[in-house]
Structure 1
Amino acid sequence: MTATASRVLVLNSGSSSVKYQLLDMEPDSAGGSAAGTRLAVGLVERIGEETSRLAHTPLATGGGTRETEGPIADHEAALKAVAAELSADGLGLDSPQLAAIGHRVVHGGLKFTAPTVIDDAVLKEIERLVPVAPLHNPANITGIRTAQALRPDLPQVAVFDTAFHTTMPEYAARYAIDVETADAHRIRRYGFHGTSHAYVSRKTAGLLGKDPSEVNVIVLHLGNGASASAVAGGRCVDTSMGLTPLEGLVMGTRSGDIDPAVTFHLKRVAGMSEDDVDVLLNKKSGLVGLCGDNDMREIRRRIDEGDERARLAFDIYIHRLKKYIGAYTAVLGRVDAVAFTAGVGENAAPVRAAAVAGLEEMGLAVDADLNAVRSGEPRLISPEYARVAVAVVPTDEELEIAQQTYALVNA
C-alpha cells in the first residue's frame, strides 16, 4: 500500500446484487472533508437476468446518478461494470489511492471475532459456514473471489455481521439443547447486523457525551430485517437473532420468535416440506404474513383508514419490541439509552412512540415534538426529565466496514 492510499471500496454482494461505496478514509490537509468521505455509491441488481440494472452516483465529481440497463451475466461482469463506472470518474480500481476492498460477510461463526484479511484459509472457513448461512455466505464468497481476480495485489478484508456479537457470555449464546449435538452442528446464538449495532451503540455514547465503555445501550435495528441488542460498556451481551436471522423481533417477511414445534405441526398436519416451512417463516410471515404489507408507511396509512388487520399487525410488532426492551433492561441492569436505527427505526415516528409508550416506570419517554422531527443526524427524542435517553441514530454500515478495513490494513 502506498503512502497516499487512503480509499476503501466497500462491497456488499447479494445473490443477485452488488451494493458498493468508495470512501476516502483520510481527512484532507485543509480540514475541508472528514475521514469517511463518500466518493461514489452504487447498486447492481438483477444480476443474471436480461434486465439487469446498474445505478452509479459519482459524489466526488458532483455528477448525477447514471443508470444503465441490460444483461449482466454474473458477479464478475457486475464488478467489471462497476470498475468501468469508477474509472469514468477517475476513481478506477487500478488507482494507487485504493488501499483495500472491504467485504460484508454475513456469517463468521465463532472463529472470526474481528475484521480479517482474506486468504485461502479464511475463504475455506467462510465456505464451511455456508450450512448456517445458505442465503448469504455463498454470495459473499462470490463477491470476494471476483474482487480478488480483479485486484489480486490488493488487501481484501472480510467484516463479519456476527463479529460484534461474539462477546456474548456463554449463558446468553447457548441454546438449552444437548451440548454434544449443539457443538457437533455449531448450533448457538450468533446474531447479525453486527456492524450496525457496533456503529450505533458507539454513536449513541457520543451523543450522550460519554465513552462507549461508560454506557449501556439497547439498540433496535428496525428495517425489513430487524434485531435488538443489549450492549454493556461497548460489548454486546445479548442479541435477538440467533443461529440464523430468523429469530427475534417481528420483521417485514420473517416471523421472529416462534414455538419450534410449529414447524413439526406444519409438516405433520399440513403436509408441508422443510422447504415449504422455510419459505413460510422467512418470506411469507412477519408483517407481510399478518396483513399483506411489509412497508410500515403503507401499514400506517391503512391503520388511519380503519384497517383492523393492519392495526393488529402493528400491535403485534410493537408488543414484541416492548418485550425485548423489557428483557434487555433486565439483562443490563442499568440502561442509559435506547437507540432506534435502520429504515423503520429512523423514519417511523409512530413506531418509536408506541414502542416506548407505557414504559415510563422504566424511565422511558418520548417528546412528541422531538420525535416528529425528520433529520439525518443522530438526535435525542426523549424529554430532559427522562431517566433513560431515547435516541434516533442513523446507521452507516458501509462506513463502519470501511473504518474497520482501513484500520486493519494500516495497523
Structure 2
Amino acid sequence: MMYIIRNFILLVLLLGSTITYGQEVLTLTKVLQEINANNPTLKAFDNQVKSQDAKVEGAGSWMAPMVGAGTFMTPYPGSRVMDEADKGAWMLSAEQDIPNPAKIKAKAKYLAAQSSITRAEQAVQANQLRARAKQLYYELLVASKKNAFQLENQTIMGTMKKLAEIRYPFNQGSLSQVFKAEGRLHESANMILMTESDIRSKKIALNALMYRPVNSDFTLDTTQKATFTPLAELDTSYLATNRSDIQQMDRSIRAMELNINQMRKEAKPDFRIRLEHMSPRAEMMPNQYTLMGMISIPIAPWSSKMYKSEIKSMNFEREAMRQQKEGMLSEMLGMTKSMETELLNMQIQLKNYETKILPALDKNLKVSMLSYQENKGDVNTVIDGWEAVNMSQMNYLDALQKFYQMIVEYEKNIER
C-alpha cells in the first residue's frame, strides 16, 4: 500500500511540475498582440502625440502684456524750469498685443493636424514590426522543420553505421563504408548544431520585439501554416485606403494645406492697445492719460512679400507630394500584383515537393535500406539515397522559407 501511495505522490508531483514549468506555446497572433501592446518603439509615439496635442491648447494664447514705469517730458538735471508744468510727470504704461482671431484658429487647426501625421507614422512603424515578427516566426517554423528532418536523418545514418560495423567482421562490408557512414553522421551532427544555434538567435530577436527577457523560452504553434490567397479587391483605391505610409502622405498634404491657409491669414491685421498714465510732478497739474489702439497693415508691399512667397513655395511642395503619392501607388500595385503570380507558382512547387518529390525519395531510401538489410545492396547505395533525401529536404525548406518571406512582404504591402 505504501509503495502505491508513494508512486501516486510522485506522479502528482511530476504532473504538477510539467504544468508549472511547461514551455509557453506562442501563436503568431499572440506574438503580434504582444508587440502591439509592449514594444517601446510604438509606445514612444503615444507620448509624441500627447506632446503635439498639448501644443494645440496653447495655440490661442496671446503675447504677454508689457508694463513700464518712468518719467514723461522731464527736463535734464541742471536745466532751467520756467514753469511748474515743465517739470514733467511720472508715467505708468501698459501695452497688450491682440492677435487676429482668424490667425489663432488657423494655427490651432495646423497644430492639431500634426498628431494625426504622427499616428500614421506609428502605423507605418507597427506594420514594419509586424512584418519583422512574421518573418522571424516563419523562419523559426522552417528551422524547426529542418531540425526535425536532420534529427531523423541522423538517426537513420547512425543505424546504418552500426549495421556496417556489425557486418564488417563477417566480410559483408568494407571498412571504407564504415568510415563513410561515420563521416556523414558527424556532418549531420554539425548541421543540427547550426540549426539549433539559428533557432536560439531567432528566439532572442523575437523576444526583443515583444519586449520580453531575451532568454525567455517558448515553443511555436507547429500547426501554423501560411497559405496564399490573392486579394480580390486589390487596386490603387485599396492601397490608398489601407497603406499607412500613403495615409501619412495624405495627412502631410492636409497639414500643408492648413499651413498654407495659416500663411494666408498673415494678410489679416493684428491689433495692439496701449494705456499710459501720467502723474505730473507739479502739484497744480492734473493727472493725465493716453489711450491708443493700433492696427498692423500686413498688406503693405514691403511686408506682404514674405507670406506670399511662402504660400507659393508650399503650393509647389504640396503638388510634388501629390505626384509622389500617385507614383508610389502605381509602383506598389505593380509590385504586389507581380508577387501574386510568383506566390501562386511557388505554392504549386511546394505542393509538388510535399506530395510527390519527398515521398518518392523517401520510398527510394527505405527500399535501399531494406535491400541492405537483406544483403542485396551496400552502404554506398543507402548513403546516396540518404543524401538525395537530405538535399531534397533542404531544397524544399529553402523554397518554403522564400514562400513565407514573400507572403510577409505581400501582407506588408497590403497591410494585413
TM-score w.r.t. the length of structure 2 is 0.21
TM-score when normalising by structure 1: 0.21
Higher helix share: 2
Higher RCO (Cα < 8 Å, 6 or more apart): 2
Q: Which has the higher strand share?
A: 1
